[in-house]
């Protein structure tokens, strides 16, 4: 069975979208996903499923919608896709915690960066369904405006690499 990585939008530690990771794991297991593992309290889950990537994402989004009152948006990537995302990350000299990968449900429009306003020297690169952004002063302090990011969910490159490692261990437990 393929290994998938699900990245949930609008899931956080407190307030709107709060969802304990133990509950996320239980929801996934209730959907028939196997070997479910969550990572940090921001909506990351690695699992096996006989479903297609699209079907697994739709099932999870629907189940979370019932629990949260509205669908949060689920971005699913295969283990191989996520490994390529990590390997192809631009900005090799940047601090890894200052490089975010913004995951989108659809391929980013090629002109998505045309509307970018980067007052703090942010740099962005489009790669298929992802937009990589380097935030020189950190994303929390950044005043970046990039409308294309609103539809997605973001993880720093350290988190992406950890999820790749978790997925690889599931695919090859040795």
What values do phi and psi take at 127, rounded to 5? -145, 90
Mean pLDDT of the chain: 91
Whether residue 105 is found in the same domain as residue 145: yes
d(CA 14, CA 17): 7
Q: What is the pLDDT of residue 122?
A: 97
This prediction has a pTM of 0.91
- Check whether residue 95 and residue 133 sit in a common domain: yes
pLDDT, position 21: 86
Residues near 167 by Cβ (< 8 Å), separated by ≥ 6? 3, 4, 5, 46, 79, 82, 83
pLDDT, tens digit, 9 for 90 and up, residues 5-20: 999 987 764 555 678 8
Same domain, 67 and 88: no
Q: Are residues 105 and 62 in the same domain?
A: no
Range(s) of the domain holding residue 154: 82-161
| Residue 105 and residue 143 in one domain | yes
Q: Give the tens place of pLDDT for each residue, 87-136.
A: 999 999 999 999 999 999 999 988 999 999 999 999 999 999 999 999 99
């Amino acid at each position: 069975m393929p290994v998938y990585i699900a990245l949930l939008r609008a899931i956080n530690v407190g307030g709107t979208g709060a969802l304990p990771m133990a509950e996320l794991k239980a929801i996934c297991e209730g959907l028939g996903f196997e070997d479910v593992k969550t990572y940090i309290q921001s909506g990351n889950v690695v699992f096996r499923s006989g479903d297609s990537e699209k079907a697994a994402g739709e099932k999870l989004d629907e189940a979370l919608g019932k629990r949260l009152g509205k669908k949060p948006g689920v971005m699913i990537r295969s283990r191989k896709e996520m490994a390529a995302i990590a390997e192809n990350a631009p900005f090799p000299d940047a601090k890894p915690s200052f490089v975010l990968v913004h995951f989108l449900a659809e391929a980013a429009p090629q002109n998505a960066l045309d509307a970018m306003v980067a007052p703090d020297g942010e740099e962005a690169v489009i790669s298929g369904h992802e937009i990589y952004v380097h935030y020189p002063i950190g994303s929390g302090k950044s005043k970046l405006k990039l409308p294309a990011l609103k539809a997605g969910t973001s993880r720093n490159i350290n988190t992406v690499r950890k999820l790749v490692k978790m997925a690889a261990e599931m695919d090859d437990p040795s």
